[in-house]
């Protein structure tokens, strides 16, 4: 066997050293940075009241939040939520996360908390809450700021029964109006179900889903979802696929159900119920993940019911066969799942899906107060129509007018 000369041995040694160092670097590479999943966040509150001298008195509320973080977190890691108003800290709540790692696709590794709360917390009054979210490393206790969000807290007076009627304690609820154009298209990487948590866990295999939120009144019934369907076009031509999936029920992800008693006008004491619903749901789309590759171009899909358009969603599939990320993701740092994009959203005023909107809150930002950074998102927000009464009116019971002027006022009108 011919021996290598000195120069050749030097080249081989250098190449091997480079290869081994590359492997070592790959094995010791820093994990991907943690990212808060903006579409997974969901805030709600629970009102608290006390009894003082036989009267029900407002004692504030405590917040509750569900959140997911992309990236690996050690065991016993936690998320910390610090609630403030006008620069004054009001509460700090810590919850240990549940972590899920996926060796077949590390990009799906994540940690989450569901219903993180401290029932001893008391926050008084309506208005915006600033919420700073931190990740706490379970091995080192090092804290990483993941972001700050704004939660719009609303309140409303209530009325108790009896003749004459009496005032009840104030009730609080979260406004989810700014999420009306936060529509997220998501799909799985292969014919598998990576995990069972919404929003991606709501569908399996190569199916594609759309996550969105709407606000309704007590006149909206979930049976209305049964009549919904989606039809799509690509570059202006109806989408036809070889194997369209069978339609599936609209799946509820999260919801806020809030009720208050009020005194109808002219009632001597009989009360009625007004209901507020915020519903985050997933609609299965009428195509499969593989149809992106065979249909590049501009996609437009309409959510419809009874011949009416309820939502219009639009996005572009590139020559690589993948939906292109929205400018809010590429320019604004919006963080979603590894197979998810924000899509352009149009809201229609004459559909039955949206029964309350607040264009002002939508224009301020999405995903709990994230300011819009792209002209596209700002234009979509500006086009959201005003529908119904944005909020329940706050009108305390006035004893002198109890028999003639109800507590419902203009905030109680229903849009039929």
How does pLDDT run across 138-178, given as a tens digit for each residue? Answer: 999 999 999 999 999 999 999 887 777 888 899 999 999 99
Q: What are phi and psi of 211, to 5 degrees?
A: -100, 130
Separation between Cα atoms, residue 360 and residue 292, nearest integer Å: 35
Dihedral angle sign, alpha carbons of residues 69, 75, 76, 77: negative
Nearest alpha carbon to residue 207 among 227, 192, 223: 192
Predicted pLDDT at 93: 98
pLDDT in tens, 206-255: 889 999 999 998 888 888 888 899 999 999 999 988 888 887 888 888 88
Strand partners, 69: 36, 111
Instruction: Supply the pTM of this predicted model.
Output: 0.85
- For range 42-55, the mean pLDDT: 91
- Answer yes or no: are the C-beta atoms of 90 and 103 closer than 8 Å: no
Residues of the chain above pLDDT 90, percent: 60
* Cα–Cα–Cα angle for 170, 218, 344, rounded to 5 degrees: 100
35-36 and 143-156 strand pairing: unpaired
Neighbours of 263 (CB within 10 A): 28
Q: What percentage of the chain exceeds 70 in pLDDT?
A: 85
> Under 8 Å CB-to-CB from 374, ≥6 apart: which residues?
326, 327, 328, 331, 332
pLDDT value of residue 16: 35
pLDDT at 391: 93
User: In this predicted structure, what is the pLDDT of residue 7?
Assistant: 41
Q: CA-CA distance, 13 to 30, in Å (whole number)?
A: 27
User: Cβ neighbours of residue 361 under 8 Å, at least 6 residues apart?
Assistant: 152, 175, 177, 178, 390
| Other CB atoms within 10 Å distance of the CB of residue 141 | 10
- What is the mean predicted confidence (pLDDT) over 308-329? 96
Q: Would you say residue 54 has pLDDT above 70? A: yes
Instruction: Please report, to the nearest 10 degrees, the dihedral formed by the alpha carbons of residues 259, 166, 123, 76 taken in order.
Output: -50
What separation in angstroms does the CA of 356 have from each of 55, 185, 343?
32, 23, 22
pLDDT digits (tens, 9 = 90+) for 353-391: 999 999 999 999 999 999 999 999 999 999 999 999 999
Higher per-residue confidence, 78 vs 200: 78
Mean pLDDT of 55-71: 94
Nearest of 208, 192, 204 to residue 292 by alpha carbon: 208
> Which has the closest alpha carbon to 230: 284, 176, 159, 282?
284
Digit-coded pLDDT (tens) for 79-89: 999 999 999 99
With contact defined as beta carbons under 8 Å apart, do 172 and 126 qualify? yes
What's residue 196's pLDDT? 56
Q: How far is CA 229 from CA 336, 343, 345, in A?
A: 25, 18, 16
**pLDDT greater than 80 at residue 304:** yes
Q: What is the pLDDT of residue 192?
A: 54
Q: Residue 23: is its pLDDT beyond 90?
A: no
- Kindly report, residue by residue over 112-126, the tens digit of the pLDDT: 999 999 999 999 999
Both tokens of 164, joined, read 């004459």
Q: Domain-by-domain residue ranges, the chain?
A: 32-412
pLDDT bin (cut points 50, 70, 90) of residue 398 is low
Mean pLDDT of the chain: 85
Give the DSSP letter string of 136-159: E-TTT--EEEEEEEEEEEEEE--E
Q: Lowest-confidence range among 157-171, 300-314, 345-359?
A: 157-171
Q: Are strands 184-187 and 78-85 parallel, antiparallel or unpaired?
A: unpaired
What's the confidence (pLDDT) of residue 407? 34
Question: Concatenated DSSP letters for 230-291?
Answer: EEEEETTEE---SSPPPP-PPEEEEEEEEEEEE--TT-SS--EEEEEEEEEEEEEEEEETTH
Q: Is the pLDDT of residue 5 over 80?
A: no
Residue 40's pLDDT band, with cuts at 50, 70 and 90, is: very high
Tell me which DSSP letter residue 179 carries.
Answer: G
Q: How far is 35 from 232, CA to CA, in rounded Å?
A: 32
In the block, which residue shows the tokens 């229903």?
Answer: 414
Q: How far apart are CA 298 and CA 223, in angstroms?
A: 32
Please tell me the distance from the alpha carbon of residue 231 to that of residue 272, in angstroms, as a whole number.
40
213 by Cβ neighbours in 10 Å (0-12 / 13-18 / 19+) ranks as buried
pLDDT reported for residue 397: 76
d(CA 309, CA 65): 32
């Amino acid at each position: 066997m011919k021996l290598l000369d000195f120069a050749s041995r030097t080249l081989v040694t250098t190449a091997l050293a480079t290869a081994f160092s590359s492997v070592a670097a790959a094995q010791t590479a820093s994990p991907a940075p943690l990212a808060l999943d903006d579409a997974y966040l969901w805030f709600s509150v629970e009102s608290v009241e006390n009894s003082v001298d036989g009267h029900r008195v407002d004692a504030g509320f405590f917040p509750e939040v569900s959140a997911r973080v992309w990236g690996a977190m050690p065991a016993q890691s936690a998320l910390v939520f610090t609630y403030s108003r006008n620069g004054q800290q009001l509460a700090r709540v810590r919850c240990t996360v549940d972590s899920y790692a996926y060796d077949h696709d590390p990009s799906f590794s994540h940690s989450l908390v569901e219903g993180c709360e401290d029932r001893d917390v008391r926050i008084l009054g309506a208005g915006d809450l600033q919420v700073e979210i931190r990740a706490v490393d379970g091995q080192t206790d090092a804290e990483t700021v993941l972001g700050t969000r704004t939660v719009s807290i609303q309140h409303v007076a209530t009325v108790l029964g009896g003749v004459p009627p009496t005032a009840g304690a104030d009730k609080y609820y979260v406004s989810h109006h700014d999420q009306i154009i936060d529509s997220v298209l998501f799909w799985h990487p292969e014919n598998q179900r990576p995990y069972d948590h919404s929003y991606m866990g709501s569908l399996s295999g190569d199916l594609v889903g759309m996550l969105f939120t709407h606000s309704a009144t007590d006149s909206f019934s979930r049976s209305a979802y049964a009549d919904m369907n989606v039809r799509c076009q690509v570059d202006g031509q109806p989408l036809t696929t070889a194997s369209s999936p069978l339609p599936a029920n609209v799946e509820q992800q999260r919801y806020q159900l809030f009720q208050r008693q009020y005194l109808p006008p002219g009632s001597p004491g009989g009360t009625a119920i007004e209901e507020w619903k915020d519903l985050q749901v997933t609609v299965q789309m009428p195509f499969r993940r593989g149809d992106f590759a065979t249909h590049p171009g501009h996609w437009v899909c309409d959510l419809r019911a009874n011949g009416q358009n309820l939502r219009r969603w639009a996005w572009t599939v590139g020559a690589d066969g993948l939906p292109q990320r929205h400018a809010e993701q590429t320019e604004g740092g919006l963080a979603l799942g590894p197979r998810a994009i924000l899509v352009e959203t149009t809201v229609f005023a004459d559909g039955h899906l949206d029964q309350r909107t607040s264009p002002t809150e939508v224009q301020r930002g999405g995903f709990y107060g994230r300011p819009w950074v792209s002209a596209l998102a700002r234009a979509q927000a500006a086009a959201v129509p005003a529908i119904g009464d944005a909020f329940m009116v706050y009108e305390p019971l006035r004893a002198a007018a109890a028999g003639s002027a109800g507590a419902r006022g203009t905030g109680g009108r229903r849009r039929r």
